[in-house]
């Protein structure tokens, strides 16, 4: 049973470009969570999604960031017009049901904005 998969593992974008981060949850998991870790900080919750629905996006920046979890395929975190401050590690977690204590994390995508 493969774990949570994220790709790419490393992504370099120039300022103003778009970044797309993908997350494939564990088999049987229909709940996906995205977190961001800025340098020297802990992980910060961004958004929680179920298939085709955004349930809680209270941690998402108001502009340029969006997330989706379509019926088929991975969850996508999209950052438009990236800025240097978006450089961070982005982690995805999944769970079989709504829970805060049963989330399994992927290895993360490290985004660098030059």
Partner 1 sequence: DQQVKQNSPSLSVQEGRISILNCDYTNSMFDYFLWYKKYPAEGPTFLISISSIKDKNEDGRFTVFLNKSAKHLSLHIVPSQPGDSAVYFCAKTSYDKVIFGPGTSLSVIP
Whole-number Å distance between alpha carbons of 89 and 35: 8
Q: How far is CA 56 from the centre of its chain?
A: 13
- Find the part of the chain contacting partner 1 (CB under 8 A) among 14-22, 50-58, 68-76, 79-87: 50-58
Of the pair 17, 26, the CB lying nearest partner 1 is at 26
Please, what is the minimum distance in Å from the beta carbon of residue 114 to partner 1?
A: 20
Which residue in 86, 102, 81, 104 sits closest to 23, CA to CA?
Answer: 104
The one among 55, 70, 83, 114 contacting partner 1 by CB under 8 A:
55
The rounded distance, in Å, linking the Cα atoms of 15 and 80 is: 10
- In the list 79, 82, 88, 91, the residue contacting partner 1 (rule: CB under 8 A) is 91
Residue from 29, 87, 96, 107 touching partner 1 (CB under 8 A): that is 107
Paired sense of beta strands 10-13 and 109-113, if any: parallel
Where do contacts with partner 1 occur on this chain (CB under 8 A)? Answer: 4, 33, 35, 40-45, 48, 55-56, 58-59, 91, 93, 98-108
């Amino acid at each position: 049973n493969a774990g949570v998969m994220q790709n790419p593992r490393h992504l370099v974008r120039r300022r103003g470009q778009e970044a797309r981060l993908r997350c494939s949850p564990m088999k049987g998991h229909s709940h996906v969570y995205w977190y961001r870790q800025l340098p020297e900080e802990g992980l910060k919750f961004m958004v929680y999604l179920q298939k085709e629905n955004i349930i809680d996006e209270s941690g998402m920046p108001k502009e340029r960031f969006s997330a989706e979890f379509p019926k088929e395929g991975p969850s996508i975190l999209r950052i438009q017009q990236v800025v240097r401050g978006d450089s961070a590690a982005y982690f995805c977690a999944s769970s079989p049901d709504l829970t805060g204590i049963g989330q399994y994390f992927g290895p993360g995508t490290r985004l660098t904005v030059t």
